[in-house]
């Protein structure tokens, strides 16, 4: 029997009401960020790059084409990603490539049955040469979609173009070369997986490069997702009654850039926490710092130009190493796996055909480590059991590389200098189901490209207490406390070279949270019993290159209680961000 018109009308109405209701109950999951501009109006033009629903997309990225906007004069490009999801699902990682070059790596928020959504805007202007030619777009969001995992991710990527004027003009790079697996012709992501992949590409650069920097992007997965909680390999079996819980290769990680096998710079990475990380209850609806835009680290390789401009092929390699007490030099391999890519950004000397220079000198001291492990055990009835494992691992390293380069403006000194410190103290009891971590990474770099010296600091204090259910008919739980910050003062080299920023900037953000979270091991999902409070302070001040709509100061104070946002105070002025403090349960402050 055919339904009457009235019935159809009512179903449409019910559907419309239902979808409105479900949208209303969906939760917006935020990341505090510096907005790329004060006002998104007055676009010169805009276009949707793709819209795609990621269901069973494991190893099957979206593949499409980007075409530069026709008949549109623009300087600035902003990408706006918007994602919705509804259902049971893990948080996933997504990588956006233009051809073989990765231009954005983002995590998703962790979905829920009520539904989640967010959008995030990223300034893409440093990729200008890629944005003005046709590109193969590869967006790899590997998702699993089954009766158990019912959340798809619906993603829209939009490009907004503005014809902005800049204080000292816009000077984007002339070329961008990928350091990647170069796999776009096979319609797959060009990410390299370390330590298994080679991590190296061979490049021939033009003879007249005047400036070159390398941007590196690296994040840990699986046994390396929580690398900063890993233990030295010789202690991975301290609690045999809890097998597989502790991962080895130490909590120290160094991402290295190698040019023809020689060290050109390093990154001691920011300890990123994804939205399912340690305790998913901590990250809804405020995600962890940088979760929607994983940070890159830039290394000035201008001192290498006398070598790189010789018309021959040179190797650019990325490598990830950890602390290994059993080898000479104490640097060894890491677990499975790190996803890495890089890109070489170059600016040409229009008035010359050939850059030359003197010898490349370097002063590179290997990292120095200070390492103190202690296992405590008890013996009962002639049976010995380890009761706690406490260790501290500190590291320090300095490097500098310099040369004289000759360009059309005459000879000048090119230099790149880094100074880094790291301290990680962990205390594990209760078969390591109780784990406390007190860590800090600090560093500074300076380059002859800028008079500004940049400093940064990443303190992370974390306490977790897990109860893992032995059957699926009971719930597992975690109680977690976190207090951590990201503090930087100085300049991003790519923004400075491109003209997006014309002076020093400072950013400070702190997340301080406590959460009790229960989950079902069968379907990995929270419960109504979950409680938690997270505060985030975020403050920025800078020197934008934009003549109009540049962000000089910005702050945001967010607070969530039991998965709901109870405070969202946003201002176009900076604010005082309180300092991260030590948590209970760990004795000793990290020293750097």
Binding site for ligand NAG (CB under 6 A): 40, 63, 71, 80, 82, 119, 121, 156, 158, 160, 186-187, 198, 200, 202, 235, 237-238, 240, 315, 351-353, 358-359, 375, 382, 384-386, 388, 390, 427, 429-430, 434, 465, 472-475, 479, 520, 522-523, 585-587
Distance between alpha carbon 305 and the CA centroid of its chain, in Å? 29
Given a contact cutoff of 8 angstroms between Cβ atoms, the answer to whether 26 and 114 are in contact is yes
Given a contact cutoff of 8 angstroms between Cβ atoms, the answer to whether 446 and 498 are in contact is no
Nearest to 246 by CA among 230, 232, 234: 230
Alpha-carbon span 237 to 239, nearest angstrom = 5
User: What is the smallest separation between the CB atom of 84 and ligand NAG, expressed in angstroms?
Assistant: 9
User: What is the smallest separation between the CB atom of 1 and ligand NAG, expressed in angstroms?
Assistant: 37
DSSP annotation of 313 reads -
Torsion angle of alpha carbons 159, 501, 109, 535, nearest 10°? -140
Q: What phi and psi values does residue 351 have, to the nearest 5 degrees?
A: -95, 10
CA angle in degrees (0–180, nearest 5) for 542-543-549: 95
Q: Which is nearer to ligand NAG, 292 or 456 (CB)?
A: 292
Given a contact cutoff of 8 angstroms between Cβ atoms, the answer to whether 345 and 213 are in contact is yes
Please report the DSSP string for 204-240 in residue order.
---TTEEEEEEEEEEEE-GGGTTGGG---GGGTTS-T
Encoded tokens for 453: 């010296």
What SS3 class is residue 202? strand
User: What is the smallest separation between the CB atom of 360 and ligand NAG, expressed in angstroms?
Assistant: 9
Kindly list the distances between the CA atom of residue 351 and the CA atoms of 25, 174, 238, 410, in Å, as whole numbers in the listed order: 60, 14, 63, 11
Q: Which is nearer to ligand NAG, 164 or 454 (CB)?
A: 164
User: What is the smallest separation between the CB atom of 470 and ligand NAG, expressed in angstroms?
Assistant: 12
Alpha-carbon span 550 to 539, nearest angstrom = 15
Q: Which is nearer to ligand NAG, 434 or 444 (CB)?
A: 434
Q: Which is nearer to ligand NAG, 156 or 333 (CB)?
A: 156
Q: What phi and psi values does residue 320 have, to the nearest 5 degrees?
A: -120, 130
User: What is the smallest separation between the CB atom of 166 and ligand NAG, expressed in angstroms?
Assistant: 20
Q: Which is nearer to ligand NAG, 107 or 407 (CB)?
A: 407
User: What is the smallest separation between the CB atom of 373 and ligand NAG, expressed in angstroms?
Assistant: 8
User: What is the smallest separation between the CB atom of 286 and ligand NAG, expressed in angstroms?
Assistant: 19
Q: Which is nearer to ligand NAG, 419 or 521 (CB)?
A: 521
Q: Which is nearer to ligand NAG, 39 or 328 (CB)?
A: 39
Alpha-carbon span 227 to 255, nearest angstrom = 13
User: What is the smallest separation between the CB atom of 139 and ligand NAG, expressed in angstroms?
Assistant: 12
Q: Which is nearer to ligand NAG, 251 or 490 (CB)?
A: 251
User: What is the smallest separation between the CB atom of 138 and ligand NAG, expressed in angstroms?
Assistant: 9
């Amino acid at each position: 029997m055919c339904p009457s018109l009235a019935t159809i009308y009512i179903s449409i109405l019910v559907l419309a009401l239902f979808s409105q209701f479900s949208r209303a109950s969906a939760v917006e999951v935020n990341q505090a960020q510096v907005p790329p501009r004060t006002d998104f109006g007055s676009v010169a033009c805009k276009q949707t790059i793709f819209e795609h629903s990621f269901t069973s997309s494991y190893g099957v990225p979206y593949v499409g084409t980007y075409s530069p906007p026709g008949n549109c004069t623009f300087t600035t490009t902003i990408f706006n990603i918007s994602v919705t999801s509804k259902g049971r699902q893990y948080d996933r990682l997504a990588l956006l490539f233009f051809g073989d070059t990765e231009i954005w790596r983002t995590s998703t928020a962790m979905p829920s049955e009520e539904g989640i959504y967010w959008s995030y805007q990223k300034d893409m202007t440093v990729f200008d040469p890629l944005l003005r030619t046709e590109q193969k777009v590869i967006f790899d969001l590997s998702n699993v979609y089954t009766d158990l995992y019912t959340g798809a991710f619906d993603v829209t990527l939009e490009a907004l173009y503005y014809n902005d004027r800049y204080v000292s003009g816009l000077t984007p790079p002339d070329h961008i070369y990928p350091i990647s697996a170069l796999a776009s012709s096979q319609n797959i992501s060009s990410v390299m997986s370390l330590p298994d992949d080679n991590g190296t590409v061979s490049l021939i650069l033009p003879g007249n490069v005047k400036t070159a920097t390398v941007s590196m992007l690296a994040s840990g997965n699986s046994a390396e997702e929580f690398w900063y909680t890993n233990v030295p390999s010789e202690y991975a079996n301290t609690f045999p009654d809890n097998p597989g819980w502790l991962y080895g290769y130490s909590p120290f990680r160094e991402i290295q850039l190698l040019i023809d096998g020689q060290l050109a710079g390093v990154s001691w990475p920011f300890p990123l926490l994804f939205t399912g990380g340690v305790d998913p209850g901590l990250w809804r609806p405020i995600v962890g710092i940088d979760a929607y835009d994983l940070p890159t680290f830039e290394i000035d390789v201008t001192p290498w130009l006398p070598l790189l401009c010789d018309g021959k092929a040179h190797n650019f390699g990325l490598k990830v190493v950890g602390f290994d007490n059993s080898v000479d030099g104490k640097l060894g391999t890491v677990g499975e796996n790190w996803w890495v890519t890089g890109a070489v950004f170059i600016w040409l000397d229009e008035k010359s055909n050939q850059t030359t220079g003197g010898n490349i000198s370097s002063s590179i001291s290997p990292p120095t480590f200070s390492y103190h492990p202690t296992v405590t055990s008890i013996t009962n009835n002639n049976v010995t059991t380890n009761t706690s494992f406490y260790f501290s691992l500190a590291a320090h390293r300095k490097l500098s590389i310099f040369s004289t380069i000759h360009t059309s403006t005459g000879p000048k000194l090119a230099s790149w200098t880094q100074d880094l410190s790291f301290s990680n103290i962990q205390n594990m009891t209760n078969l390591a189901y109780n784990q406390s971590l007190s860590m800090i990474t600090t560093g500074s770099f300076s380059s002859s490209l800028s008079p500004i010296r940049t400093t940064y600091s990443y303190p992370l204090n974390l306490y977790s207490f897990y109860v893992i259910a032995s059957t699926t008919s009971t719930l597992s739980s975690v109680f977690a406390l976190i207090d951590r910050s990201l503090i930087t003062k100085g300049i991003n080299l790519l923004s400075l070279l491109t003209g997006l920023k014309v002076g020093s900037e400072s950013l400070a953000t702190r997340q301080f949270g406590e959460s009790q979270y229960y989950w079902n091991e069968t379907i990995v999902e929270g419960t109504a019993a979950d409680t938690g409070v997270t505060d985030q302070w975020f403050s920025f001040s800078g020197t934008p290159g934009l003549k109009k709509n540049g962000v000089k100061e910005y702050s945001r104070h967010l607070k969530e209680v039991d998965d709901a946002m109870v405070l969202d105070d946003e201002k176009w002025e900076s604010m005082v961000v309180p300092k991260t403090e030590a948590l209970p349960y760990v004795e000793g402050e990290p020293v750097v």
